[in-house]
Structure 1
Amino acid sequence: MVCALGIEGSANKIGVGIIRDGEVLANVRRTYVTPPGEGFLPKETAAHHRDFIHQLIKQALKESQLQPKDLDVICYTKGPGMAPPLLIGAIVARTLSLLWEIPLLGVNHCIGHIEMGRLITGAVNPIVLYVSGGNTQVIAYSNKRYRIFGETIDIAVGNCLDRFARIIKLSNDPSPGYNIEQLAKCGKNYIKLPYVVKGMDVSFSGILSHIEDLADPSKRRNKRKKAEITVEEPEYTKEDLCYSLQETIFAMLVEITERAMAHCESNEVLIVGGVGCNERLQEMMRIMCEERGGKLFAIDERYCIDNGLMIAHAGAEMFRSGTRMSFEDSFVTQRYRTDEVLVTWRDD
């Protein structure tokens, strides 16, 4: 039996979770929300995490009805992520480890998402589509590693959505991606956008630049003047832009996921990461899976969005399999790839 406390704070969410042998005992979280049109900066995000992390730890222990002596391991997000927010989680985890005399483990953020998804859905050995604000990867497990079959070559899909939400001044509460999703449901006209799939990789920066021009009337007028021609532009709304952006970038993700399924002869797909909550993405992926005789596994916002529970669970799996970490190695890193981690807890 392994009981683990996990701390996640790699981006704008600070979360604490407690798990015991796959049983969820606590999963609490706070989100740093900025005004419309603004992103979150590392320094201010770290300050937010510092303000809330102690009360979240107390809340998690209260909900789980546990004492520090009941814990077997303290886990924190080692990376990838933004350095100042990551450091808040690491410093608090190191402090708790010393105060409570409990072993400490650093967890790869991406692995946390994958293992949380496998636990909640029961997926056995799926192709994993990992989509979040900072990451976009198609992953398959093989020989003690989570192998990356395809990924973004520039910005992540969540970053693309977040930046477009800022362009059109959408609220960041509860999240910019969620608000784009709601507007997209009202879109009626599909606007053709660049579709950039390069082998197994995708690119979103050109799409973002193109749709930014469409969203700004002054830029459209300037382009027409430079071309010295009169172009009758179709009428479209902010809802149409959100709808078109979602349809295009999600189709790209479905394409590379299907190709990975074919390569690995898999009939399962698991979507993880914050963008994985998007119902339209899930619908498009489900259609593709059913056409191939496969099955889609997806999770809701409790476990899909960054949370401390996923770090606790992945850390518990590592600890159970014999993984240990010296205190000198309890640092953080902004670049910590999924395929760097030796998966000691899986035998398949």
Structure 2
Amino acid sequence: MPTVLGLEGSANKLGIGIIQDGKVLSNPRHTYITPPGEGFLPRETAKHHKDWILSILRQALDEAQISPNDLDSVAYTKGPGMGAPLVSVAVVARTIAQLWNKPIIPVNHCIAHIEMGRLITGSKNPTVLYVSGGNTQVIAYADKKYRIFGETIDIAVGNCLDRFARVLHISNDPSPGYNIEQMAKKGKKYIHLPYTVKGMDISFSGLLSFIETAANTKITSGECTAEDLCYSLQETVFAMLVEITERAMAHCGSQEVLIVGGVGCNVRLQEMMAVMASERGAKLFATDERFCIDNGAMIAQAGSLMFSSGLKAAKKEDLLEDSWCTQRFRTDEVLVTWRK
């Protein structure tokens, strides 16, 4: 397996990682954190990446104890993600690939999460629940593609949690979802919320509108606490996710389920999924915040697989010509040449 450097910056996390023979040599990351009640905007996020990327690159090389000469290729996030941050990182990836005379590999962000999860957990052919700030999908591999069995029809689960955190002015440090998780542990009263599962797809926008109103009325009236609402929100959205994941597992006859993406760090989600998996005689695989949250090593791992399975023979000039970005890049668009 080759030695690959991966650059990730599709949202507010900037990460650069190095993978060698399936081993993570380094994986530093820096997060753009906004004040409570505020989200992150493309221009400011891109500026954060531009300000930090060279120091993170140097840190990644130093921690791995390798030089650019030791690299076989440079991988970067092609999409999906926010336009300006994606471009800010792709420019650096293109520059160093040319300076160091290395092939450049464009990587699908969603595929990178899956392949990193498979590498770290050792899962072979799992049904995948991919949950993050910008994506919510249930995925399984079949016939050279990662097939999407179900997904959100409006906003992603991470975006739902983030937007509710803004309503309560919950801190964004280290992340709004993490702080909601801690508050939910103190919740004692379950507030019934809209539960919207439509076949294999789910919807969060109506639930979000309902709980935003509840935050302004029920907390003020003393009917419940902010912790109660955080608890109720988690229990409801995670139950929806477990339901569609179980349905996909039944369809595929799967005995493995893998949770990836930033929301996949949530211990309560992992607990609920583990109960479902156990009842089916299946096994749950999940990772911690080092690899669940956006990071450079996952881009390096996907790039390594792509490089070894065919792109190694491609011309550097042709790869460079294809090194552009796109905000919309679906998981099932990628031809998976590295799996049988």
Q: TM-score, normalised to structure 2's length?
A: 0.97
Which residue of 2 is the match for residue 255 of structure 1? 243
Which residue of 2 is the match for residue 274 of structure 1? 262
For 1:45 and 1:285, locate their aligned partners in 2 and report how far apart those are by CA, in whole Å: 33
CA contact (8 A) 1:213 1:220 kept: no
Q: Percent identity?
A: 71
Aligned mate of 1:330, from 323, 331, 334:
323
Which residue of 1 is the match for residue 70 of structure 2? 70
Which residue of 2 is the match for residue 32 of structure 1? 32
Which residue of 2 is the match for residue 96 of structure 1? 96
CA contact (8 A) 1:74 1:102 kept: yes
- Structure 1: gaps (5+ residues): 222-232
CA contact (8 A) 2:255 2:282 kept: yes
| Deviation readout 1:94-121 (Å, 9 max, x if unpaired) | 0001100000010000000000000000
CA contact (8 A) 1:129 1:257 kept: yes
Shift in Å at residue 327 of structure 1?
1.4
SS of structure 2 residue aligned to 1:326? helix
Aligned pair 1:299/2:287, yes or no?
A: yes
| Deviation readout 1:6-64 (Å, 9 max, x if unpaired) | 00000000000001010110000000000000000000000000000000110111111
Amino acid corresponding to residue 323 of structure 2 in structure 1: S
SS of structure 1 residue aligned to 2:28? strand
For 1:270 and 1:57, locate their aligned partners in 2 and report how far apart those are by CA, in whole Å: 30
Amino acid corresponding to residue 152 of structure 1 in structure 2: T
Coordinate RMSD, CA, aligned? 1.2
Q: 1:220 to 1:313 in 2, by over 3 A?
A: closer
Shift in Å at residue 328 of structure 1?
1.5
Matched ranges for 1:77-156 at <5 A: 77-156=77-156
Matched ranges for 1:190-229 at <5 A: 190-217=190-217
Aligned mate of 2:337, from 339, 344, 348:
344
Q: TM-score, normalised to structure 1's length?
A: 0.95
For 1:326 and 1:133, locate their aligned partners in 2 and report how far apart those are by CA, in whole Å: 29
Shift in Å at residue 326 of structure 1?
2.2
CA contact (8 A) 2:219 2:226 kept: no
For 1:30 and 1:186, locate their aligned partners in 2 and report how far apart those are by CA, in whole Å: 29
For 1:33 and 1:220, locate their aligned partners in 2 and report how far apart those are by CA, in whole Å: 27
Amino acid corresponding to residue 286 of structure 2 in structure 1: A
For 1:234 and 1:159, locate their aligned partners in 2 and report how far apart those are by CA, in whole Å: 27
Amino acid corresponding to residue 267 of structure 2 in structure 1: E
Amino acid corresponding to residue 337 of structure 1 in structure 2: R
CA contact (8 A) 1:105 1:315 kept: yes
SS of structure 2 residue aligned to 1:141? strand
- Structure 2: gaps (5+ residues): none
SS of structure 1 residue aligned to 2:172? coil
Aligned mate of 2:278, from 278, 281, 290:
290
Amino acid corresponding to residue 341 of structure 1 in structure 2: V
CA contact (8 A) 2:77 2:299 kept: yes
For 2:306 and 2:181, locate their aligned partners in 1 and report how far apart those are by CA, in whole Å: 36
Amino acid corresponding to residue 335 of structure 1 in structure 2: R
Aligned pair 1:319/2:319, yes or no?
A: no
| Deviation readout 1:179-205 (Å, 9 max, x if unpaired) | 000000000000000000000000000
Which residue of 1 is the match for residue 22 of structure 2? 22
SS of structure 2 residue aligned to 1:39? coil
Moved over 3 A (4+): none
Amino acid corresponding to residue 291 of structure 2 in structure 1: Y
